[in-house]
Amino acid sequence: MAKGYWVSVYPAISDPERLTAYNKLAGPAVQAGGGRLLTHVGSRVVAHEAGITQRVILIEFNSFEEAVAAYESEAYQKALVALPDGVERDFRIIEGID
């Protein structure tokens, strides 16, 4: 079964303190949904073409369906409410290959 991944890129963060509040809720929600953090804040990034060097977070799930279910979970939806307006985020759920 193909794994699922959350990919989050943060081009702009104007309120890092409020982002911390989101992270405190999102971390346990992701873990409860079976997610494993593969990168962290401060991970090195080399960007090419129109790439972004700001914060990039990659989370792995055992399946694409598990990744979607974790996003749709009540716990993660509560975390999203805490995501501040001053954060620009490009978020994707993608299916890996076997």
Expressed as residue numbers, the domain containing 52 is: 4-95
> For 36-87, how does the pLDDT look when each residue is reduced to its tens digit (9 = 90+)?
999 987 788 888 887 777 888 999 999 999 999 999 999 999 999 988 787 8
Q: What is the pLDDT of residue 1?
A: 84
Q: pTM of this prediction?
A: 0.89
Domain count, the chain: 1
Q: Which has the higher per-residue pLDDT, 23 or 53?
A: 23
Output the six-digit token pair for 50.
């129109």
Q: Which has the higher per-residue pLDDT, 68 or 1?
A: 68
Distance of CA 75 to the CA centre of its chain: 14
Q: What is the pLDDT of residue 82?
A: 86
Q: What is the 3-state secondary structure (H, E, C) of the chain?
A: CCCEEEEEEEEEECCHHHHHHHHHHHHHHHHHCCCEECCCCCCCCCCCCCCCCCCEEEEEECCHHHHHHHHHCHHHHHHHHHCCCCEEEEEEEEECCC
Residue with tokens 């943060």: 10
- CATH number of domain containing 50: 3.30.70.100
